[in-house]
Structure 1
Amino acid sequence: MPLTKTNKEEIIQTALTVFRKNGYYNTSMSDLATACGLQKGSFYHYFASKEILMSEVLKTVQSYLEYAVFSIATETGLSPRGKMEKMLLKLGKALLSQEGGCIVGNTTLEVAAQTVIFKDTLKAIFDAWKNAMKTIYMEEYPEGTAGRLAEQSVMEFEGAVMFSQLYETDQYLKDVFVRTLSKMK
């Protein structure tokens, strides 16, 4: 196989697609090298391990979500319901529009009982999601209620993602979207 000229950012984007499709444990360094057009030995020049690569993939996802999705919670000029709708639609597009489903939820399920270097990044992503939703809910509810609603909404969305994949229908996601918006006045 001829060597492909690449860089870390391109590898991270390709790895995101491969991990999303195959999962963390079902993806080998050979799978990743092949997807990137590199020989396995050359791949280690960029990332010393699959765990380090996944850590970088999730940090990239985290940065994108915080910049482009969760920041919607503090936008001005939108009603709380408008913010929630915009954020959830953008979140759905970012996390669910590609084969394999939600990289954050799927990876969390795979590694929850394991000790991996990227577990704190997964927690940080979910915490940022809960905080963004809490910020929106606080425009209409007291802080404690807003926090509980935010946590319940995130859990319900992730459950809906799993059911949608298992039963091969997006109706669960549509339903949770409607239920979440119905909590907004």
Structure 2
Amino acid sequence: MEDKIVIAIKKSARDLFRKYGYYKTSVNELAKNACIAKATFYKHFASKELILHAVLMDYIQDNVYDILNKHVKENDLALFLANTILRVSRVTYTVCNEFVGWEFIRESANAQEYLKILSEDLEFLLLRSFMQNETIGSVIPEERLNFLIKSSKNIVFSFAFTAVSEADVRKNFISFQKEMLPYLVQATLMDDRG
């Protein structure tokens, strides 16, 4: 169970990062908004990057849980898996855009190093969540699920780096959904089907 100070810091970070963006929000503002001293902030989080990471992972984890457990499950495993991967990909793209901004990530070497860490942690979180889901985890071996998650994440991150406008992003998601995802799901389920 998280203590009240950590909860207050995370709430402050979610609110301010959404309102002003990660790079325009200072630790002083985070502490002030959480009604704590700056030293108290650093007692719980060694850097602003670590609070960003905690907020992103919490947000993604909550949404992945909802996607896996609260959406109506399709009778067709391939369709369920494709729709789940698509929803998770959209959440991941959106939260990175909302809290950090893809424009800045594309231009900053520091942001790209952080993105690598986020990417690895995201893969672990998704694999663990998918393996715990009774519809998916009991049927698909971990290594094939890992292939699907890693491939999908890499595709989504790659078009996040190449998209110039929101219209490009929409086109890329449509292309991913219709042209790439069915083959990734088919490859993931291949041994189960025949």
Same topology, TM > 0.5 = yes
Aligned CA distance change for structure 1 residues 179 and 139 (closer, same or farther; 3 Å) = farther
Aligned-pair CA distance for 1:15:
1.0
How many residues align structurally? 165
* AA in 2 matched with 1:45: T
Q: Percent identity?
A: 15
Partner Cα distance (1:180, 1:54) in 2:
31
Q: Which amino acid aligns with 2:54?
A: E
Aligned partner of residue 27 in structure 1, secondary structure: coil
Aligned equivalent of 1:45: 40
Spell out, residue by residue over 1:27-68, the C-alpha distance to the aligned partner (whole angstroms, 9 max, x if none): 32134245x264xx6354344342443343244235425533
Q: Indicate the RMSD between aligned Cα atoms, in angstroms.
A: 4.6
* Distance in 1 between residues matched to 2:175 and 2:27, nearest whole Å: 38
1:154 deviation in Å?
Answer: 1.3
CA contact (8 A) 1:104 1:122 kept: no
User: Is 1:88–1:177's contact at 8 Å kept on the other side of the alignment?
Assistant: yes
* CA distance in 1: counterparts of 2:162 and 2:119, whole angstroms: 21
What is the alpha-carbon distance in structure 1 between the residues aligned to residue 52 and residue 25 of structure 2? Answer: 11
Q: Residue 44 and residue 80 in structure 1: after superposition, are their counterparts in 2 closer, same or farther (change >3 A)?
A: farther
- Mapped to 1, the partners of 2:41 and 2:99 lie a distance apart of 25
**Aligned counterparts of 2:123 and 2:101: Cα–Cα separation in 1:** 8
**Residue identity in the other structure for 1:161:** A
Kindly indicate whether the alpha-carbon contact (under 8 Å) linking 1:130 and 1:150 is maintained by their aligned counterparts in 2: yes
Per the alignment, do residues 98 and 52 of structure 1 end up closer, same or farther by CA in structure 2, a change over 3 Å counting? closer
Comparing 99-108 and 43-52, the one that deviates more: 99-108
Matched, 1:54 2:52: yes
User: Which ranges in structure 1 are unaligned for 5 or more consecutive residues?
Assistant: 1-5
The equivalent of 2:126 in structure 1 is 129
Listed as ranges, the gaps of 5+ residues in structure 2 are 187-194
CA distance in 1, matches of 2:142, 2:54: 33
Structure 1 contact 80–139 (Cα < 8 Å) conserved: no
More helix by share: 2
Structure 1 residues 144-159: aligned runs within 5 Å = 147-159=146-158
In 1, Cα distance between equivalents of 2:21 and 2:7: 20
Decide whether aligned partners of structure 1 residues 31 and 162 sit closer, same or farther in structure 2, where only a CA change above 3 A counts: farther
Is the alpha carbon distance of 1:29 and 1:144 closer, same or farther for their aligned partners in structure 2, counting shifts above 3 Å?
closer
